């Protein structure tokens, strides 16, 4: 053990790493001393560096490509604050990850909403029965129930389709909890909004019907009785033994009185006896007061003022009970339909005692089944990478590579430093000893020392050789010294030139301001820096965070004019003798009730729209400058206001036009006058009323001045109008009267002075700040939603704080700094020295060939000589030259060289083979200069090309233009006022003859054209104000597809929005059995044996009595004119329905048009008629209903502006990737990456290993020789 240790110590003590082929003992000792200092210094430095790396941690920016959901969630848990995973698609349609299914209550799919059940319940004599008889109202209730079920399902389906087209906007994948909360909140808002819109529409239609006092065929409020040259209405009184007389009213909304329904078997032709029929013991003829108690009660069923009111307050209790249905079957006894066809309700027992009104408020939805998938959301978001910072201890591989790199650097300069330092110290010591022994040597002067230094430098310059091969060939040594001089000169010259060139360059430097305040951002904006960008950490901000509305309404909506006190019309007016005409005495209650209805509906509409507005998101990729922000938000707010106003106006106009165009009959009879003895079947009829040179037959705006007519005296109420319906009277009136004390006094002069209303009735006070003058029409107030001031405000600071930019970056042009110059020179120096060290020695060697080599004449000899020279060079190639005198030193160096080359070549070959066979994903990033460049890139890399937009939110008005081409009839003479007036025949109103109804048909056509054009215009305005949100430029084809898909959704949504209001209005009016003025759906009848001559009603029938207007909205027959069919036109229960079934075929045929004109009496009106000319692509026999389904639009011209989109998106750079099997550049860079570490390791270990091998070899030889020598001795 001692012997090996001694050997090691002796080896280390004699170790000389700086040995040269010189036998100078002084130099040898210097080399050994240098070795003893070098090795500990090297080991200590490396050890300390390893210790430092082992104890320290490194903050590393890591990137994970295409993370899965699980990987993302793991990263989120560990690196949440620093994690950045941008979505590939930041705008994700809800339909991609959300599916909402709806389970409806059993009633909506039961037998009780089928036509068979309705037919089973209906009897032609229904109107003869007691007003509270279930048989009277049942078919109409269930028609309305069917309508509510069908329309609720249609509304949900339409709104879901629109909802699915909305987008969830997120810059990065949100967490599961946040995703669920956000989706749940969005779905809840969708449910609330859908329910609210549906409920408000039903309520609005119901209140407008009530306010206009439209008559039902199954009235429970009053009955029509004959009067001299006229008819009158007598209120129906219900005797309640507890509360006294009861009258049903429709003006109190949910507080209206309802009464239980039953079966009154003994009352076949009820005469509507009043409560006082038995006063003073006198019994009137046919009075059935004693039989007002029903023979059978129907549980849950009640009667109100209208069928819709009755239905809403009823429950479905009876439909759950077999016994109840059995009793109904016994009583109805419909032979053609068996009760066994109808199954009782079984499933939803919780709704047995629930009012239909409550079910309606839930849209008849039993359960919302919401399937939300975070996985599908994540897969659509599809982040291409996740970037995060990780602080962790250095790995072994990292420490090893860093240590090897340090060793490579130390190996280059540490030996030189140590050797020169030791040499210098030993020379100084030797000089000191020399001075001590030589006392005769005087102090050396500075001049002599400088001279000696210059001589030394001169000798160094003339003898320096950085290409020293340690060859004994003097010619070669001179060549190497010459090469050194040229190398140094060329290197210094190039470095100087490059230094001047680089210093003259101007570089674009990117500056960053971390977490800028608004003030800092505005300063940067004002300085107009190039490429200023401040990306938002939150790209979407809810409008509620920076926009607020605090609307104030016109004072009329909070005044006495909308008070419910007006409903008590019996108590507020003085007792006076009425005239034949309806006057303000009769109309005031409905007039002000409708005003109140419009005020409430406007406020509810604004509330619902604001709730939707506040959750909408303003999307920006970076901070928007204040000026641009103000412009965009102001424009958006104005469009929002305009959209609400137009939508509300269109909804009211649809309801108003359906009522007018169907010419429904009002109790007030503002639109008609009576005439009697029409024919044998009808006792009286109606003709349209005229006001001030206009007629209610064709002019919706026809009106006169409102009046009181009491005691045969007319007193006019200035600035209040009387129109064809109460709705027209209200809308055509102005507010002037409400500000005028004199006008108020006129009204009060007919009122009881001791009433509360009389005391509260005062004129409005005009405020100068009001935007409305005192003579504004009520229609203008309604169109403006009664808004006095929107009081909208927005806060840029709130937006900025929500955007919360983490930094602002911008570029400035600067002169190159010293660090930049040094960095450039260092980056160039390495490659430059390699090239020069390779080129210069070889060029010098080529020029300075020996003379005898140049004198070889034959080509063969030259080649042979070149071959021998190359062979000798290769055989003697030495990459590890050393001047040591050790034995076989040159042999070891050459062997090390060849071992090094072979090992290096093998490793390099393996690396090249592996790299060339491996599929490499090449990522490329480049600047984008124009659209053509993008399209060329997209052709080559369609799947991986990604060009992020600088502006991610773009208004659709910048991207697309939609130009609807309407059916030519809407711009033809057939919808002109002249044509309609020309067709109108005064005093002729026979619904079965086309000449009596033709003007109404064309008036309806005109209304449809106008309403649909208004609807499309309003929807287009709304569409243009919405935003396209996308975070990257897409191809022209993808742009076209997305635009077309959005346009298709817009068209469908617009159509369904119109159809919803249009169909709901028609079906509710039908379900309430509202009468038309022309008896087209119901006709009056009287029985002569009844001394009180009560008018009853019977339903009209069509198609050979196979279709009755009591149970079907669709009953129509072809129209005829003097017994000649009119091509395409129909008549039926309602003018609107007849028109929907009609086509415009006749208007393309001059013969047909001439037939219409032939029966029109000659008038002073001159009109030129041109038939429709163009051939519609949908055919001339297309029904009007189908025309409505496409909004009367024959064609949509869609202009897509892809170039505008590209300019607005404005991407400045793109990235793409592709897989490459053999990439020479990648191979070269891989080799270069490997080269440094590989050469250091091989240069270190191979000579060491060869030296060990040689030592072992020599040791073995010595061991063999020594015994032999001993034997010889």
- Element (DSSP H or E) covering residue 1138: helix 1135-1141
Lowest-pLDDT choice from 340-349, 846-855, 905-914: 846-855
- Element (DSSP H or E) covering residue 728: helix 726-732
Listed by start position, the domains of the chain span: 119-139+148-377, 506-543+795-815, 547-739+772-794, 862-909+1226-1273, 941-1218
pLDDT digits (tens, 9 = 90+) for 1133-1148: 999 999 999 999 999 9
**Do residues 223 and 673 lie in contact, with contact meaning Cβ atoms separated by under 8 Å?**
no
- Give the mean pLDDT of the chain: 84
Give residue 432's pLDDT. 63
CA distances from 282 to 239, 272, 285, 1093 (A): 16, 17, 10, 20
Q: Is 113 left (phi over 0), alpha (psi -120 to 50) or beta?
A: alpha
The radius of gyration computed from the CA coordinates of the chain, to the nearest angstrom, equals 51
**Do residues 161 and 1052 lie in contact, with contact meaning Cβ atoms separated by under 8 Å?**
yes
> Dihedral of CA 873/874/875/877: which sign?
positive
Q: Which residue has the higher pLDDT, 528 or 667?
A: 667
pLDDT digits (tens, 9 = 90+) for 306-353: 999 999 999 999 999 999 999 999 998 888 888 889 999 998 899 999
The rounded distance, in Å, linking the Cα atoms of 922 and 936 is: 18
CA distances from 380 to 536, 1043, 1188 (A): 22, 19, 37
pLDDT digits (tens, 9 = 90+) for 982-1013: 888 765 555 566 777 788 889 999 999 999 99
Split at pLDDT 50, 70, 90, the class of 1163 is low
Q: What is the mean predicted confidence (pLDDT) over 466-487?
A: 73
**Do residues 619 and 1029 lie in contact, with contact meaning Cβ atoms separated by under 8 Å?**
yes
pLDDT digits (tens, 9 = 90+) for 945-978: 989 998 889 999 999 999 999 999 999 999 998 8
The rounded distance, in Å, linking the Cα atoms of 774 and 766 is: 7
pLDDT digits (tens, 9 = 90+) for 640-651: 999 999 999 999
Q: Which residue has the higher pLDDT, 285 or 487?
A: 487
Split at pLDDT 50, 70, 90, the class of 491 is confident
* Helix, strand, coil percent content, the chain, rounded in steps of 5: 55, 20, 30
The rounded distance, in Å, linking the Cα atoms of 1015 and 863 is: 95
Using the predicted structure, report yes or no on whether residue 61 has a pLDDT greater than 90.
no
The one-character DSSP state at 674 is: E
Using the predicted structure, report yes or no on whether residue 289 has a pLDDT greater than 50.
no
pLDDT digits (tens, 9 = 90+) for 8-19: 677 667 677 666
Count of all residues that appear for the chain in the document: 1273
> 3-class secondary structure for 1179-1222?
CCCCEHHHHHHCCCEEEEEEEECHHHHHHHHCCCEEEEEEEECC
pLDDT digits (tens, 9 = 90+) for 623-639: 999 999 999 999 999 99
Q: Is 553 left (phi over 0), alpha (psi -120 to 50) or beta?
A: beta
Give residue 282's pLDDT. 35
**Do residues 160 and 368 lie in contact, with contact meaning Cβ atoms separated by under 8 Å?**
no
DSSP string, 477-519: HHHHHHHHHHHHHHHHHHHHHHHHHHHH-EEEEEEEEES--HH
In degrees and rounded to multiples of 5, residue 790 shows phi and psi of: -75, -30
DSSP helix/strand/coil, 101: strand
> Dihedral of CA 209/210/214/217: which sign?
positive
The rounded distance, in Å, linking the Cα atoms of 30 and 34 is: 6
Task: Name the residue among 975, 978, 983 with its Cα closest to residue 1008.
Answer: 975
pLDDT digits (tens, 9 = 90+) for 759-775: 999 999 999 899 999 99
DSSP helix/strand/coil, 804: coil
**Do residues 577 and 843 lie in contact, with contact meaning Cβ atoms separated by under 8 Å?**
no
Split at pLDDT 50, 70, 90, the class of 1225 is low
DSSP helix/strand/coil, 751: strand
Task: Name the residue among 914, 904, 992, 959 with its Cα closest to residue 1237.
Answer: 904
Which residues pair with residue 553 across a beta bridge? 787
Q: Which residue has the higher pLDDT, 578 or 298?
A: 298
CA distances from 892 to 870, 873, 1253, 1261 (A): 21, 16, 10, 17
pLDDT digits (tens, 9 = 90+) for 1118-1138: 988 878 889 999 999 999 999
**Do residues 647 and 1016 lie in contact, with contact meaning Cβ atoms separated by under 8 Å?**
no
The rounded distance, in Å, linking the Cα atoms of 1210 and 1221 is: 34
Task: Name the residue among 307, 388, 383 with its Cα closest to residue 140.
Answer: 307
DSSP helix/strand/coil, 766: coil
Share of the chain above pLDDT 70, in %: 82
Give residue 36's pLDDT. 80
Q: HSE-up of 550 (CA within 13 Å, CB side)?
A: 3
Give residue 936's pLDDT. 93
- Element (DSSP H or E) covering residue 459: helix 446-463
pLDDT digits (tens, 9 = 90+) for 77-116: 888 878 889 888 888 999 999 999 999 999 999 999 999 9
Task: Name the residue among 377, 376, 378 with its Cα closest to residue 68.
Answer: 378
Residues 357-374 as b or e (16 or more Cβ within 10 Å = b): bebbebbbbbebeeebeb
> 3-class secondary structure for 845-908?
HHHCCCHHHHCCCCHHHHHHHHHHHHHHHHHCCCCCCCCCCCCCHHHHHHHHHHHHHHHHHHHH
Using the predicted structure, report yes or no on whether residue 473 has a pLDDT greater than 80.
no
Q: What is the mean predicted confidence (pLDDT) over 1039-1059?
A: 93
**Do residues 304 and 1110 lie in contact, with contact meaning Cβ atoms separated by under 8 Å?**
no
Give residue 11's pLDDT. 65
Q: State the helix-helix crossing angle for 176-211 and 374-381, rounded to 10 degrees.
A: 110
**Other Cβ atoms within 10 Å of 52 Cβ, number:** 12
Using the predicted structure, report yes or no on whether residue 885 has a pLDDT greater than 70.
no
Which residues pair with residue 1124 across a beta bridge? 1121
**Do residues 1201 and 961 lie in contact, with contact meaning Cβ atoms separated by under 8 Å?**
yes
What CA dihedral angle connects 678, 684, 688 and 693, to 10 degrees?
90
Terminal Cα-to-Cα distance of the chain (whole angstroms): 30
Give residue 148's pLDDT. 97
Q: Which residue has the higher pLDDT, 755 or 869?
A: 755
Q: State the helix-helix crossing angle for 626-661 and 176-211, rounded to 10 degrees.
A: 40
DSSP string, 516-578: --HHHHHHHHHTT-EEEE-BBSS-EEEGGGTEEE--EE-GGGGSGGG-GGGG-HHHHB----B
Give every CB contact of residue 302 below 8 A, 6+ residues apart in sequence.
258, 259, 260, 261, 310, 313, 314
CA distances from 48 to 43, 45, 52, 210, 321 (A): 8, 5, 6, 96, 93
Split at pLDDT 50, 70, 90, the class of 854 is very low
Task: Name the residue among 318, 353, 320 with its Cα closest to residue 332.
Answer: 318
- Element (DSSP H or E) covering residue 1119: strand 1116-1121
What CA dihedral angle connects 931, 933, 936 and 942, to 10 degrees?
-70
pLDDT digits (tens, 9 = 90+) for 7-59: 667 766 767 766 665 556 777 777 777 778 878 888 888 888 888 878 877 77
């Amino acid at each position: 053990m001692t012997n090996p240790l001694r050997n090691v110590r002796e080896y280390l003590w004699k170790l000389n790493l700086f040995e040269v082929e010189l036998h100078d003992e002084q130099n040898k000792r210097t080399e050994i001393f240098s070795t003893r200092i070098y090795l500990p210094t090297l080991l200590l430095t490396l050890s300390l560096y390893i210790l430092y790396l082992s104890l320290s941690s490194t903050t590393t920016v890591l990137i994970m490509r295409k993370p899965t959901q699980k990987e993302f969630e793991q990263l989120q848990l560990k690196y949440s604050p620093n994690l950045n995973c941008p979505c590939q698609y930041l705008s994700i349609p809800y339909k991609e990850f959300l599916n909402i299914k709806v389970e409806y209550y059993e009633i909506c799919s039961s037998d009780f909403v089928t036509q068979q059940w309705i037919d089973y319940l209906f009897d032609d004599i229904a109107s003869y029965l007691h007003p509270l008889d279930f048989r009277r109202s049942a078919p109409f209730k269930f028609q309305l129930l069917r309508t509510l079920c069908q329309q609720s399902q249609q509304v949900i389906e339409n709104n879901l389709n629109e909802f699915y087209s909305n987008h969830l906007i997120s810059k990065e994948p949100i967490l599961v909890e946040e995703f669920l909360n956000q989706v749940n909140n969005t779905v809840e808002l969708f449910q609330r909004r859908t329910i609210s819109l549906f409920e408000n529409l039903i309520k609005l239609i119901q209140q407008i019907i009530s306010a206009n006092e439209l008559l039902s065929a199954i009235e429970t409020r009053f009955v029509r009785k004959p009067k001299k040259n006229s008819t009158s209405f007598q209120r129906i009184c219900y005797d309640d033994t507890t509360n006294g007389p009861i009258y049903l009213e429709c003006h109190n909304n949910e507080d209206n009185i309802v009464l239980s329904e039953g079966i009154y078997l003994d009352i076949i032709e009820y005469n509507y006896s009043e409560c006082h029929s038995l006063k003073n013991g006198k019994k009137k003829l046919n009075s059935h007061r004693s039989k007002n108690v029903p023979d059978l009660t129907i549980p849950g069923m009640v009667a109100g003022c209208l069928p819709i009111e009755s239905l809403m307050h009823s429950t479905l209790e009876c439909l759950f009970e077999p016994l109840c249905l059995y009793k109904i079957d016994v009583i109805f006894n419909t032979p053609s339909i068996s009760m066994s066809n109808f199954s009782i309700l079984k499933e939803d027992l919780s709704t047995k005692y629930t009012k239909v009104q409550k079910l309606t408020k839930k849209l008849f939805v039993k359960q919302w089944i919401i399937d939300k998938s975070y996985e599908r959301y994540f897969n659509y978001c599809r982040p291409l990478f996740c970037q995060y910072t990780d602080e962790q201890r250095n790995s072994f591989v990292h420490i090893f590579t860093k240590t090897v790199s340090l060793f490579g650097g130390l190996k280059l300069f540490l030996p030189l430093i140590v050797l020169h330092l030791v040499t210098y110290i030993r020379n100084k010591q030797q000089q000191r000893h020399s001075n001590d022994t030589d006392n005769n040597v005087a102090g050396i002067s500075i001049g002599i020392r400088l001279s000696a230094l210059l001589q030394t430098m001169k000798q160094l310059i003339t003898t320096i050789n950085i290409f020293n091969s340690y060859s004994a060939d003097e010619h070669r040594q001179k060549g190497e010294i010459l090469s050194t001089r040229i190398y140094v000169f060329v290197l210094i010259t190039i470095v100087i030139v490059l230094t001047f060139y680089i210093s003259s360059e101007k570089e674009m430097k990117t500056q960053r301001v971390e977490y800028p305040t608004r003030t800092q951002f505005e300063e940067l904006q004002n300085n107009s820096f190039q490429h200023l960008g401040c990306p938002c950490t939150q790209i979407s901000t809810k409008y509620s965070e920076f926009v607020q509305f605090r609307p104030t309404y016109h004072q009329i909506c909070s005044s006495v004019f909308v008070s419910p006190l007006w409903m008590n019309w019996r108590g507020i007016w003085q007792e006076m003798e009425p005239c034949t005409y309806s006057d303000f005495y009769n109309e005031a209650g409905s007039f002000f009730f409708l005003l109140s209805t419009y005020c409430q509906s406007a406020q509810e509409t604004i509330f619902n729209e604001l709730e939707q507005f506040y959750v909408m998101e303003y999307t920006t990729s970076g901070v928007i400058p204040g000026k641009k922000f103000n412009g965009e938000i102001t424009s958006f707010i104005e469009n929002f206001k305009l959209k609400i106003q137009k939508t509300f106006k269109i909804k009211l106009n649809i309801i108003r036009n359906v009522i007018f165009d169907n010419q429904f009959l009002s109790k007030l009879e503002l639109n008609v006058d009576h005439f009697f003895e029409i024919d044998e079947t009808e006792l009286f009829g109606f003709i349209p009323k005229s006001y001030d040179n206009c007629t209610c037959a064709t002019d919706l705006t026809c009106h006169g001045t409102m009046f009181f007519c009491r005691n045969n005296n007319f007193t006019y109420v200035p600035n209040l109008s009387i129109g064809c319906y109460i709705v027209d009277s209200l809308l055509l009136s102005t507010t002037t009267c409400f500000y005028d004390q004199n006008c108020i006094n006129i009204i009060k002069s007919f009122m009881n002075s001791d009433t509360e209303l009389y005391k509260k009735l005062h004129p409005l006070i005009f405020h100068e700040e009001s935007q409305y003058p005192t003579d504004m029409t009520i229609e203008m107030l309604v169109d403006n939603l009664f808004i006095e001031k929107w009081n909208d405000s927005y806060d840029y600071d709130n937006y900025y704080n929500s955007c919360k930019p983490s930094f602002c970056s911008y570029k400035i042009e600067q002169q190159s700094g010293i660090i930049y110059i040094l960095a450039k020179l260092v980056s160039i120096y390495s490659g430059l020295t390699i090239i020069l060290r390779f080129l210069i020695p070889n060029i010098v060697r080529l020029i300075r060939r020996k003379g005898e080599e140049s004198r070889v004449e034959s080509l063969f000899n030259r080649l042979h000589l070149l071959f021998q020279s190359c062979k000798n060079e290769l055989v003697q190639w030495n990459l590890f030259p050393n001047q040591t005198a050790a034995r076989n030193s040159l042999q070891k160096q050459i062997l090390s060289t060849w071992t090094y080359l072979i090992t290096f070549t093998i490793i390099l070959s393996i690396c090249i083979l592996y790299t060339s066979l491996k599929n490499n994903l090449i990522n490329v990033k480049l600047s984008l200069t124009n659209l053509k460049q993008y399209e060329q890139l997209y052709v080559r890399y369609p799947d991986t090309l990604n060009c992020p937009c600088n502006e991610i939110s773009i208004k659709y008005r910048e991207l697309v233009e939609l130009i609807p081409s309407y059916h030519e009839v809407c711009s033809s003479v057939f919808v002109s006022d002249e044509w309609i007036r020309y067709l109108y025949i005064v005093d002729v109103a026979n619904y079965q003859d086309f000449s009596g109804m033709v003007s109404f048909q064309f008036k309806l056509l005109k209304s449809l054209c106008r309403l649909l054009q208004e609807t499309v215009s309003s929807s287009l305005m709304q569409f243009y104000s919405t935003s396209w949100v996308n975070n990257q430029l897409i191809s022209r084809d993808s742009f076209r597809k997305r635009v077309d898909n959005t346009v298709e959704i817009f068209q469908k949504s617009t159509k369904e929005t119109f159809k919803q209001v249009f169909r709901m209005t028609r079906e509710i009016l039908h379900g309430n059995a509202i009468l038309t003025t022309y008896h087209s759906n119901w006709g009056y009848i009287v029985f002569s044996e009844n001394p009180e001559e009560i008018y009853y009603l019977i339903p009209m029938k069509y198609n050979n009595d196979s279709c009755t207007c009591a149970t079907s909205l669709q009953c129509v027959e072809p129209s005829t004119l003097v017994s000649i069919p009119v091509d395409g036109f129909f008549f039926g229960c309602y003018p609107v329905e007849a028109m929907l079934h009609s086509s415009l075929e006749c208007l393309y045929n001059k013969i047909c048009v001439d037939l219409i004109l032939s029966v029109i009496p000659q008038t002073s009106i001159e009109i030129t008629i041109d038939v429709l000319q163009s051939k519609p692509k949908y055919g001339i026999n297309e029904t009007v209903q189908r025309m409505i389904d496409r909004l009367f639009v024959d064609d949509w011209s869609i202009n897509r502006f892809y170039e505008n989109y590209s300019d607005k998106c404005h991407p400045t750079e793109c990235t793409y990737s592709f897989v490459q099997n053999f990439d020479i550049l990648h191979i070269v860079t891989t080799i270069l990456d490997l080269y440094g570490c590989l050469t250091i390791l091989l240069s270190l270990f191979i000579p060491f290993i060869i030296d060990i091998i040689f030592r072992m070899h020599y040791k073995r030889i010595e061991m063999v020789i020594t015994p032999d020598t001993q034997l010889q001795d």
